[in-house]
Amino acid sequence: MHRALILPLALLLAASPALAQAPAPPQDHRQLVNMPDLPRSLMRADMQDHLVAMNEIIGYLAENKLADAAETAEKRMGQSAMGKHAAIARGQGPGRFMPDTMRQMGWNMHDAATEFSKVAKTGDQAKSLAALQQLTSSCVACHMSFRTR
């Protein structure tokens, strides 16, 4: 760097306490899982749909429409929703790039959605809510442990 620039630059830095003392961002303890673009985009699309489905389910529960809640859960998140990308992914589905514990957490989510669906079909609203929390717990478990970027 040209010597004439060094002093003004040093003064500028010294005069920016906000820059020098920027608070450290909170730590991120999640494990980074690298995925190629295709499986990562497929997973993101799934995740967005899970959130939309979850929102619909809560709405159905509030209206006591348990059969509708059961159907949404099974179709969109349950065991019947597994492997739906096979045609596009051709072996490059997100599951292939997940560490074992992460893949297991994914299976747990599908199982929890299917279990919720079964409980909701019995028409018991209190038990359905408890089963729904098992499902949201499966979202939380994975989100607290892994990230893809």
Residues that bind ligand HEC (CB under 6 A): 44, 47-48, 50-51, 54, 77, 102, 105-106, 109, 135, 138-139, 142-143, 146-149
Instruction: Report the candidate in 126, 95, 91 with the shortest Cα–Cα distance to residue 110.
Output: 95
Q: Which is nearer to ligand HEC, 66 or 142 (CB)?
A: 142
Give dist(CA 96, CA 115) in Å, integer: 25
Q: Which is nearer to ligand HEC, 9 or 147 (CB)?
A: 147
Q: How far is the CB of 110 from ligand HEC (least distance, A)?
A: 9
CB-based burial of residue 40 (10 Å sphere; 0-12 exposed, 13-18 middle, 19+ buried)? Answer: middle
Contacts of 115 (CB under 8 A, 6+ apart): 131, 134, 135
Q: Which is nearer to ligand HEC, 42 or 66 (CB)?
A: 42
Locate 107 and state its tokens. 């299976």
Q: How far is the CB of 146 from ligand HEC (least distance, A)?
A: 5
Q: How far is the CB of 39 from ligand HEC (least distance, A)?
A: 11
User: 115 with 131: CB under 8 angstroms?
Assistant: yes
Locate 121 and state its tokens. 């079909």
Q: Which is nearer to ligand HEC, 8 or 37 (CB)?
A: 37
Q: How far is the CB of 139 from ligand HEC (least distance, A)?
A: 3
Q: How far is the CB of 120 from ligand HEC (least distance, A)?
A: 15
Neighbours of 100 (CB within 10 A): 7
Q: How many Cα atoms within 13 Å fall on the side-chain side of residue 2?
A: 3
Q: Which is nearer to ligand HEC, 19 or 103 (CB)?
A: 103
